[in-house]
Structure 1
Amino acid sequence: MRIGEVTGEHYQVVAKLGYGVTSTVWLGRDLRDGKYWTLKVHINSLRHNQERVVFHHLASVTTVTPGHPGKRHVRELHDSFTLTGPHGDHEVFVMAPLGMSLRTMQQRQPTRVFMKMLVTPAIDQVLVGLDYLHEAEVVHTDLHSDNLLIAMTDDSILAKVEEDEIREPSARKQDVDRSIYVSRYMLGGAGPLTICDFGQARIGREHIGHAMPLQFRAPEIILNMEWGSPVDMWAVGLLAWDLLEPKMLFDVYDTDSPELNNAHHLAAMTALLGPPPPEFLKRSGETSKYWSEDGEPMDQCPTT
C-alpha cells in the first residue's frame, strides 16, 4: 500500500490509520463518489480468515429478529477484494470508517477511568449489539475496550485527515520494495459504539477449547468445559469494571506456567465471588484440581 495510489480499481489510499498482528488499516476514498472507507489489508500468510467467515455468516443469517436494534452496533463488511503484492496476495476488507476505541478514549482521561453516567449507556449499547450477535449464533470471545469503536457522524473529519496528509505527509521509510508509514492518529466519533474485530469469533451455540485473552477468560474456558455466548457476558462484566476502575479485576499472574496461572486466576475469582455451585463443579473433571466436591478450595495449587 502506498499513499496516493489507487487500489481495488477505484479506492485511492489517502492515509495510514494503524496496524495489528495480521493487518494494516488505511483510509481510502472511493473515486466514483468521493466517499471515504476503511481498507483493512491482511498479511499474505493468513491461511484462514475467520473474520471473513463471520462477516459472511452475519450477512446471510435468517435467525435474527428483523430490524434488530443491535445490528447498528456491529461492524459490517461493505466490500472486499484481493490485492497482489510483491510477495503474494492480500485480502482487503472495505468497511465504514470508525473513530477511536473506548480504550484510546480512556487513556486520554486524566484519571484513566470514566464516570458511571458514561459507562452505563456504553454497556447498554454493547449488550444490545451482543444480543444481535447471539441471536445470529456468533460468540465474539474477544470483547474488550480496544475492540469497541465509536462510529463517525461527520465525514468532514475524514476529509481533514486527507488534507493533513497532503499538507504534512506522514513520516515514512523506504524498504527494498515497500514504503513503511507512521500511522496517522484519527480522533472524532460521536455515534454509537460498534463491536469490531471478529477474528476470534465462533459460529454456533456450543464450543470447546481455548478462547478469550488470558485476563478476560471466563471460568468455563479455563476449566475446559463446553462454553457458548455466556462467556461474552462474563467479558461485559470485566469491561464495565475496566471502564470504571484504574486497575484490572483479574491480572495475568504467571505467563510462564499456564497451569499455575489458571490456579491463581480461579483463586482470585473464588475470593471475589465465593465457591462455585455444585452444578458448575460437575461440568468438568478438571474442577477437582482446584475444589473439593463441596466447593472448598484445594490446599495446594496444581503444578506442571
Structure 2
Amino acid sequence: MATPPAFEALKPDVLIKEETLPGYRAERYYPVTFGQVLNDRYEVVAKLGYGTASTVWLCRDLFSPQDTPAFRALKVYVNSMKVHREVPIYSHLNNLSSEHPGPENVRKLHGVFEMEGPHGWHACLVHEACGFDLDELKGFSPDGMYPADMLRHTMREVLNGLQFLHREANVIHTDLRPDNILTRVRHPVIFNRFETNENAAPVPRKILEDRTIYPSCRVPFTIAEYVISDLSEARLVDGSVNNDLIMPPVWRAPEVILCMPWSCPVDVWAFGLMVWYLFQGSRLFRFSEDGLEFSEEYHLAQMVAVLGPPPLDFLERSEHSWKYWNRDGTWRGDVPIPTDLSLESAEKRLKGEDKRLFLAWMRKMFQWKPEDRADCQDMLFDDWLCADLLQSGEMERDGHE
C-alpha cells in the first residue's frame, strides 16, 4: 500500500488564521479536524473560513447518495456565543409562505444542531455550500472592476433576494457587503476536488496539543446564481425600535453613525456602497486620513461633501448630531469638508447619458433621510440597471420582465 503524502507541519509558535484575531481564545473554538464526522452525518473535507464568532467547514453529507454526494458548509460557532440571531431568522424564513422568487437568492439553511466540545457547547448551522463571494470575483477582472452588464445582472439578483427579505419577510440584513454575497454552485461534484487535492497534496497545518489549525481553502471558480448569505446580524421588523450599533464601520449608514433609529433603509445604503465599490474599484467614502483607524467625524465629512449638508430635521433626531453640527445645521467638526469630492468627480468610468443615469440611480440610495431612499422595487426597475434588458427588448420601459 502506498504511503500517503506527508503534510507540512507549521511552526507551533507562529500565529496563523483565527489565532491572529483580536481577543482570540482557543478554548472558545471547537477543535474540528479533517476526516471527522460531525453529528454522525457530516464528514469534514476542508476549511472554508473563520471569524471571531465561528469557523466554517466544507463537509460531505454522508446521508446523500454515494454516486451523487451532497456537500454542506458547516458554521461552527464559538461556545461563548450567547445570542444566535441567525437560527430564529432562518426559522422565520422557512415558515413563510410566499410566491416571491427572492428565496432563490438567499442562501439556504439545511439544519441546525449542537455538539459538545472540550470547553462547552457549540451551535452548528448546516448551510448550502457555495462558491466565490463578490469581492473574490472582483479580483478576476483585469482592472479590478465589474463590467457594467455583469454588475447589472449580479445586482438584479441581489435586489431580488433583498426585496424578499424586506417586503415579504420583514427582515433587515444589516451586514450587506460583497463578501456576504456568494455564488451558487450548480454542480456540487466540483467539491470532490478538495478531497482529491487533500489526498494528493495535503494542506499545511499547525498541530497543537489540543487542536489542529488549518488554512482556509479556496473554492473552485464558478458562475451561477448569486445568494445573500450571513444572517447572523439580521433583525426582524417587529415594531420595536432598533438603535443599536450595526454594520461594519465603512458600510455604516448615517442614521447608525448618529445613533438614530434604523430599519430596512440601512440595507439600501449598504447596497449602494457595494455597487460603487464593485463598479468603481474603490470605496466612495474614506473613513480616515490614513486609512487605518476609523473616524466617524472624517466619515461624516466625506458624506457631507458628496450628499450636501444634511436636513436640519434629520439632525434633530439625535443628540449625537450636535457633536459635529451646530444647532442651525452648520458643520462644526474639526475635520474640514472636502471641497474636491462629489459624486460626479468620484465616478471615473462613464460619460454622457450613461453617467447621468448611473448617478441618478446612486442618488436614490445615498440620501440622508432613510425614508427618502428608494425601496428595492424602485432600484430593481431603474433605467440604468435595466439598460441591457431594455436594449435587448426583454423589458419594456413602462413594464416589467
TM over 0.5: yes
Among candidates 161, 171, 175, match of residue 138 of structure 1:
171
Q: 1:224 to 1:159 in 2, by over 3 A?
A: same
Matched, 1:73 2:108: no
Task: Please give the secondary structure, in 2, of the residue aligned with 1:161.
Answer: helix
User: Which range moved further: 281-290 or 192-201?
Assistant: 281-290
Task: State the distance in 1 between where 2:130 and 2:42 align.
Answer: 17
Task: Please give the secondary structure, in 2, of the residue aligned with 1:54.
Answer: helix
Q: Which residue of 2 aligns with 1:183?
A: 216
Among candidates 226, 236, 239, match of residue 274 of structure 2:
239
Matched, 1:37 2:72: yes
How far 1:188 sits from its partner (Å)? 2.7
CA contact (8 A) 2:301 2:335 kept: no
Q: 1:248 to 1:281 in 2, by over 3 A?
A: same
Among candidates 119, 122, 135, match of residue 87 of structure 1:
119
Matched, 1:46 2:81: yes
CA contact (8 A) 2:323 2:333 kept: no
1:90 maps to amino acid: H
* Unpaired segments ≥5 residues, structure 1: none
Task: Please give the secondary structure, in 1, of the residue aligned with 2:109.
Answer: coil
Task: State the distance in 1 between where 2:259 and 2:117 align.
Answer: 41
CA contact (8 A) 1:150 1:193 kept: yes
How far 1:45 sits from its partner (Å)? 1.6
Matched, 1:195 2:234: no
Matched, 1:282 2:313: no
Among candidates 191, 196, 203, match of residue 163 of structure 1:
196
Q: When you count strand as a share of all residues, which structure comes out higher? A: 1
CA contact (8 A) 1:13 1:27 kept: yes
How far 1:101 sits from its partner (Å)? 0.6
Among candidates 110, 113, 124, match of residue 156 of structure 2:
124
TM-score norm. by structure 1 comes to 0.90
Q: List per-residue Cα deviations over 1:169-205 (Å, max 9, x = no partner).
A: 2222221122222222112332211111112222225
Q: Which residue of 2 aligns with 1:204?
A: 237
Instruction: Flag the structure with larger Rg.
Output: 2
Task: Please give the secondary structure, in 1, of the residue aligned with 2:154.
Answer: helix
1:10 maps to amino acid: R
Q: 1:61 to 1:32 in 2, by over 3 A?
A: closer
How far 1:8 sits from its partner (Å)? 0.9
How far 1:102 sits from its partner (Å)? 0.6
How far 1:88 sits from its partner (Å)? 2.1
Task: State the distance in 2 between where 1:177 and 1:225 align.
Answer: 45
2:174 maps to amino acid: T
Q: Which residue of 2 aligns with 1:101?
A: 133
How far 1:84 sits from its partner (Å)? 2.0
Q: Which residue of 2 aligns with 1:23?
A: 54
Task: State the distance in 2 between where 1:172 and 1:287 align.
Answer: 49
User: Which range moved further: 133-142 or 286-295?
Assistant: 286-295
Q: List per-residue Cα deviations over 1:209-268 (Å, max 9, x = no partner).
A: 21111111111111111110001000011001100123211122179987xx22221111
Task: State the distance in 2 between where 1:299 and 1:253 align.
Answer: 14
Task: Please give the secondary structure, in 2, of the residue aligned with 1:38.
Answer: strand
CA contact (8 A) 1:171 1:181 kept: yes
User: Which range moved further: 123-132 or 142-151?
Assistant: 123-132
Task: Please give the secondary structure, in 2, of the residue aligned with 1:78.
Answer: strand
Task: Please give the secondary structure, in 1, of the residue aligned with 2:166.
Answer: helix
Q: 1:289 to 1:89 in 2, by over 3 A?
A: closer
How far 1:294 sits from its partner (Å)? 5.2
Q: CA RMSD in A?
A: 2.2
How far 1:149 sits from its partner (Å)? 0.6
User: Which range moved further: 220-229 or 181-190?
Assistant: 181-190
Consecutive aligned runs of 4 or more in structure 1 exceeding 6 Å deviation: 254-258
Task: Please give the secondary structure, in 1, of the residue aligned with 2:108.
Answer: coil
2:194 maps to amino acid: V
In the alignment of these two chains, the number of paired residues is 297
Matched, 1:221 2:252: no
Q: 1:299 to 1:222 in 2, by over 3 A?
A: closer
Q: Which residue of 1 aligns with 2:91?
A: 56
Task: State the distance in 2 between where 1:88 and 1:246 align.
Answer: 43
TM-score norm. by structure 2 comes to 0.69
